Amino acid sequence: MRRAAALMVAACVLALPTAAIAQNCPRTTLADIEDEVMCPVCGTPLGLASESPQAERERAYIEDLIGDCRSKEEIKTALVSQFGDDVLALPGDASGESDLGDVLVYLIPALALLAAAAGIAFATVRWRRRSGGAPPQATGEPAAAGSARLDADLDRYDL
């Protein structure tokens, strides 16, 4: 009985440093990192079920780094040093710095959308001017004749 109690106390004492270390460990998961890194061979994010051997090696490497208690930024930096810059899904992730290329990645699509919207607006204005712009004028019978015709049609279909 005393021996069991002593073993229990020893186990608790040995578990305390492990719990303290686990608290200091940055909490990150493979799923948290997979959507921000890519397989450099197939060019798809790891989170999109990339099944190439390179992607599997990359996942195993990420899991090893998570097991070593690395933060998300440290893991991304290690991935860049191991697999190159093409491993990052978002530009400027590893270094935290942004250069002109990183800005252009976001600026060019925004400018393309603005140019497309301006082109559509220009084409719409030009098309409306070409068609005359004014709504077509109502032509046909005077109101009284139209009313009489409507009454006749209604009487004919009276069920």
114 pLDDT exceeds 60? Answer: yes
Chain segment 55-69, per-residue pLDDT in tens: 888 889 999 999 989
Q: For the chain, how many residues are written?
A: 159
What's the DSSP call for residue 138? P
| Integer Rg of the chain from CA | 35
Q: How confident is the model at residue 9 (pLDDT cuts 50, 70, 90)?
A: low
Q: Report the candidate in 109, 114, 90, 103 with the shortest Cα–Cα distance to residue 36.
A: 90
Read off the pLDDT of each residue in 105-122 and give the average, rounded to a whole number.
Answer: 92
* Residues of the chain above pLDDT 70, percent: 70
Residue pair 71/25 in contact (Cβ under 8 Å)? The answer is no
Read off the pLDDT of each residue in 129-143 and give the average, rounded to a whole number.
Answer: 64
Q: How confident is the model at residue 120 (pLDDT cuts 50, 70, 90)?
A: very high
- Which residues have C-beta within 8 Å of that of residue 34, sequence separation ≥ 6? 45, 46, 47, 59, 62
C-alpha span between 98 and 91 (Å, rounded)? 8
Domain ranges of the chain: 24-94, 98-129
Strand partners, 37: 88
Residue pair 87/79 in contact (Cβ under 8 Å)? The answer is yes
Burial of 34 (0-12, 13-18, 19+ CB in 10 A): buried
Structure tokens at 143: 């109101």
Chain segment 76-91, per-residue pLDDT in tens: 889 888 888 778 877 5
Q: Tell me, what's the pLDDT at 115?
A: 96
20 pLDDT exceeds 50? Answer: no
3-state class (DSSP) for residue 99? coil
Structure tokens at 89: 């899904």
144 pLDDT exceeds 70? Answer: yes
Phi and psi at residue 14, to the nearest 5°? -75, -25
Q: Tell me, what's the pLDDT at 56?
A: 87
21 pLDDT exceeds 60? Answer: no
133 pLDDT exceeds 70? Answer: no
Which carries the bigger pLDDT value, residue 137 or residue 103? 103
What's the DSSP call for residue 35? T
